């Protein structure tokens, strides 16, 4: 997941008042509040450590903090955009805070972002990540294929669950690959 880099600009150089933002995001507090990126965050963007979607969604979430106090203690790690939705990757234990009672917070976030939004907790465990992505379906197994192009993690899901899964096969593969830096292939059998 993305690392947090100290901002190279200070509030005094920008001549702005910066209040404390308890919510942690892939960009620094100053960049969350302004329309431009500091040199540190811009470098992360150019290096591919963060994406324009990370920046856009982080800024929108910070604006929601005033109305939704539960967001103040959330640590957003990454935002992955699919055709129909956003997947917010948050620190382990933060999912309930960003979902809210009966989904009230995530519904508001989806409304503000203009797309359905799902939340998954950051994990190094591929199986745990996939299980969160395909709920309520179950994983039948994961095989590692050794190819000349590198390892491919083939995730086998019972075909009977196909209609229950919110994300498309391609979206699951893209999200899992981006979140774990491993090539993931999904098969329904």
Domain assignment present for 155: yes
For 72-106, the pLDDT digits (tens) are 889 999 999 988 899 999 999 999 999 999 999 99
Residues 93, 163 within the same domain: no
High-pLDDT (> 90) share of the chain, %: 61
For 44-72, the pLDDT digits (tens) are 999 989 999 999 999 999 888 888 888 88
Residues 98, 131 within the same domain: no
Residues 104, 154 within the same domain: no
Domain assignment present for 74: yes
Domain assignment present for 6: no
Q: How far apart are the first and last CA of the chain?
A: 31
Residues 144, 107 within the same domain: no
Using CA atoms, how far residue 100 sits from 61, 74, 97, 106, 110, in Å, is 14, 12, 5, 7, 13
- List the CATH number of the domain containing 153: 3.30.300.20
State the maximum Cα–Cα separation within the chain, in Å, rounded to a whole number.
59
């Amino acid at each position: 997941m993305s690392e947090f880099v100290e901002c190279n600009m200070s509030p005094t150089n920008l001549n702005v008042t910066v209040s404390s933002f308890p919510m942690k995001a892939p960009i620094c507090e100053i960049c969350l509040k302004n329309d431009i990126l500091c040199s540190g965050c811009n470098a992360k963007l150019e290096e591919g450590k963060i994406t324009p979607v990370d920046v856009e969604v982080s800024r929108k979430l910070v604006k929601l903090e005033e109305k939704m106090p539960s967001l103040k203690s959330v640590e957003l790690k990454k935002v992955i955009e699919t055709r129909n939705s956003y997947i917010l990757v948050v620190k382990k234990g933060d999912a309930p805070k960003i979902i809210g009672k009966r989904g009230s917070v995530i519904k508001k976030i989806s409304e503000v972002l203009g797309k359905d939004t799902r939340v998954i907790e950051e994990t190094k465990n591929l199986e745990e990540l996939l299980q969160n992505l395909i709920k309520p379906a179950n994983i039948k197994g994961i095989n590692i294929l050794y190819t000349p192009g590198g390892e491919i993690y083939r995730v086998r899901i019972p075909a009977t669950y196909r209609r229950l899964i919110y994300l498309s096969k391609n979206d699951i593969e893209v999200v899992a690959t981006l979140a774990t830096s491993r090539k993931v292939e999904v098969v329904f059998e």
